[in-house]
Structure 1
């Protein structure tokens, strides 16, 4: 199948924002599909068309289907089917509702008006979309109930168990002492949904209880927001392919999020960090929100928390007191990544959606 592939910066893989597109393109090409692009992505797995109106038209008439990650500047790609008189099916990949783009701004009133206009535009463009691939059930509700896309499919995110396998960590991050216990978090602290306050308060409380426990924060952005205390270390600018050496060195990993009270669809993310931790075979302490509570079975392949400092502290201390259980839970998590939460599965499920949509169209 010839797939018109419209994805924001994803090649080469750098940070989390590029991971999904990179692995999906790789997986679809591996399954024998031909990817067509006119975005200048430089992916060798894609046939590149000129970034001109003529190049776009050539792609439209060569493609069997268009696969578009829903982003501002790609929304109108759905209208490109018009020259083919609707014979070209369009699939949107939805990772977040529009509210996410406006969640972190201080100009709430101005953004409310902008968001209303933008939502109207997105709703109109969705009329030209045949199906939506959604990374979570919450996004599928957004696609079906608000955008009125009839065919919605939930395809959760994943990780690369080979990249995060134990064999890829010979040069692991060094502990300060052999009895040190490392609690790790990786992400962008500037995003409003990251539960940074919860983690900072937890680190402060732990410092009073156990000097052997160290918090390692791998930050994609400004490191000045982190507390300056002896049990906290901040590491910046780590490329995605270098992440395994840090995650494999941890004893426990954190996937903590604030509740999405600002979004009518609730917690809609399918957190890549969660699946990377699982693929690395690490015990995860995660917020019991949305898809996370579907992926993690408390006490079997991870731990769920109600986001109280006391609860997170208790779970960390329990993991340190019982390292063997920690290892067992991490092993169960990796088994889940090998069985289902991997990018080969994502490519297979997206391929199924592509085939169904092309057949219907």
Structure 2
């Protein structure tokens, strides 16, 4: 993988798209404003390990203004945007991540009446990350809430158990049936990431979401980092199975699933993604059209990726691509066409 991914600007067409779908809303604070902190302390987890986050603090004359602005952002993102809830809110912490490309701020807002708290993130705007968020919203089982204003991106917190923590602490305690179910979900997650070209899904870039259903727990895997959408040139980067951090999940698949089951789950995921592409209608058509003309990667990455995808699909159209958006568009169209061809074949067989 590339050591440092650049942030790509939002072009006029993408900006208009965000405005049309109510993703572009004026907010009272910018990413750069939060960089004016006067000091920080390291944040440790319950085991005393460095989390790679630092808790920042601001001078007294700036703190009041920043707190008020963050409460207003919370209200715009998660409520009706009014000031009426401010009296019940407290900004408990502003944390800054020194690890990775996006270097986000994590804001902890607490309701003083009942001590419930919520997180949201403030990052620098990056076009490829926005494409990733929108594709996740349309093509995954989950909806995403985020806002963009000029050079600042606000993201709602995605709840779940960090993948690396789950693998280390909870996976060994899972029952055999739970491990089989996790193996199935990892196959589906792996396929979904590859189809929509979401890269770098190492264990700390996704969360495990447990849901209690009658007498058992259902586990789902959900991406939380969209920084590497359509950027890298190696196809392996878009397949979580090839990261060493996911080794135990891959072993789970090997031990719990037969090849026929793996193939079945891959087909299921492709079919579900194809259905979501169809049901997303004009929205995903607009996004794909904008992405096709956008520049969100390096030329060398584009040449490498289209060559590797051609080797996988033998579709000559991939060799004609000149942007990552064109590769993504063809990949989604390839999945959709295959689904429609199979569906039509089934209809014909039933009819005759």
Q: Scaled by the length of structure 2, what TM-score is found? A: 0.24
Higher RCO (Cα < 8 Å, 6 or more apart): 1
Q: Scaled by the length of structure 1, what TM-score is found? A: 0.24
More helix, by proportion: 2
